[in-house]
Amino acid sequence: MFLCSVVSVFCCFPTYKRFLMFISSNKCAGGFQKVFEHDSTELKCKMKFAVFLPPKAETDKCPVMYWLSGLTCTEQNFITKAGSQLAAAEHGIIIVAPDTSPRGCNIEGEDESWDFGTGAGFYVDATEDPWKTNYRMYSYVTEELPKLINANFPTDPDRMSVCGHSMGGHGALICALKNPGKYKAVSAFAPICNPMQCPWGQKAFSGYLGSDRSTWEVYDATVLAGSYSGPQLDILIDQGRDDQFLSASQLLPDNLIAVCSENKIPVVFRLQPGYDHSYFFIYSFINDHIKHHAKYLNA
């Protein structure tokens, strides 16, 4: 049974501005894997997030890597399946993994589809009824959550990065491309690279953003890459060659790579033979991604 109570976050940095609902804490890789819940002002509901505190966080401020998960996931998938804690502990990186959507908002239809509504926030700020009040995942992960993390944990606010998988890979890419200089590094596993041109994206964007496709462009990594003019952004993407969603034209990495090449945005794209879309794939290469982030976060 998990102990649930309102507590300040324990570590050796005693001054905290806010309180969180404590869900769980497990010793892991010399640090602690924790889960918390809080009342989100952006999403108008309670939200859970996981945070890994490496051993270094006991004495120093650490950089933060935000992990954005894919369709149907919660904060639990990444922390129990990806095996990220050892590498994060080695490099002294805090990892924050939020849930993928608001939950329990009593919106008609929110639980009817696995790829829209609950578990499928797509990291956009919805503009259409009935979604626009709660489905504001872009503002949540780029503004509200970092402020909450920086207020309660031993972070260095100037050193943060973003990574994700599938829908979360899309989220990571747009966060970096829409906010030049805010994230020191970005990487993705099997990201949805061009959502305007794939069935998943078209379903989500039409529902959350409406029928005017011009409003979709600000959440499409391929479109954003075409106009990006910020600091150099070195992107790492791993893609399983046997990914069923690659062959189903849901991910479209070639579209993004072509635009990045035209706009001279460095991309390391690795097509991994034999790998699919699962967390077995993420587990196999997560150390490479954390090393990629550490290069820029610890520079």
Catalytic residues: 166, 243, 277
Helix boundaries (H) for the chain: 75-81, 85-91, 137-139, 145-152, 167-178, 199-209, 221-227, 244-247, 253-262, 279-297
| Residue among 72, 79, 76, 81 nearest 121 (CA) | 72
CA atoms within 13 A on the CB side of 126: 24
d(CA 198, CA 205): 10
Partners of 47 in the β-ladder: 38
Instruction: Collect all residues with Cβ–Cβ distance below 8 Å to 139 and sequence separation of at least 6.
Output: 42, 125
The terminus-to-terminus CA distance of the chain in angstroms comes to: 41
Q: How many other CB atoms are found less than 10 A from the CB of residue 161?
A: 27
Contact between residue 33 and residue 79 where contact means Cβ atoms under 8 Å apart: yes
Element (H, E) at 187: strand 186-189
DSSP character for 102? Answer: -
Q: How many other CB atoms are found less than 10 A from the CB of residue 246?
A: 19
